[in-house]
Amino acid sequence: MLCMECGAKAENGFTTDVTDLGNCLVIIRNVPCYKCTECNEVVYTADVVKQLENIVEQAKKVMQEISIIDYNKVA
């Protein structure tokens, strides 16, 4: 896969996704992604985006100030 930002090669990897809900931060670790080898731009597949949306929706229900979630344990 090529980076959408700079055109360099993007490789499979993992990242941490942070969503700021205003009154709460949802931090999701070990999220599968494609990461650019040059500029470090991160791209998610559609399946991962959907799963991230579901995880954030579940985190909203418990509404803690900070939620740190391991993607592999909930996906």
Chunked into runs of 10 residues, the chain (75 residues) has average pLDDT values of 90 95 90 95 96 92 80 86
- In this prediction, residue 52 carries a pLDDT of 96
Maximum distance among all Cα pairs of the chain, rounded to whole angstroms: 40
Inter-residue contact 27 to 16 (CB < 8 Å): yes
- In this prediction, residue 35 carries a pLDDT of 96
What whole-number distance in Å separates Cα of residue 16 and Cα of residue 26? Answer: 10
Q: Is the pTM of this model over 0.85?
A: no
What whole-number distance in Å separates Cα of residue 11 and Cα of residue 31? Answer: 14
Q: Where are the domains of the chain?
A: 15-31+45-74
Burial class (CB in 10 A: 0-12, 13-18, 19+), 24: middle
Radius of gyration of the chain (CA): 13
- In this prediction, residue 30 carries a pLDDT of 96
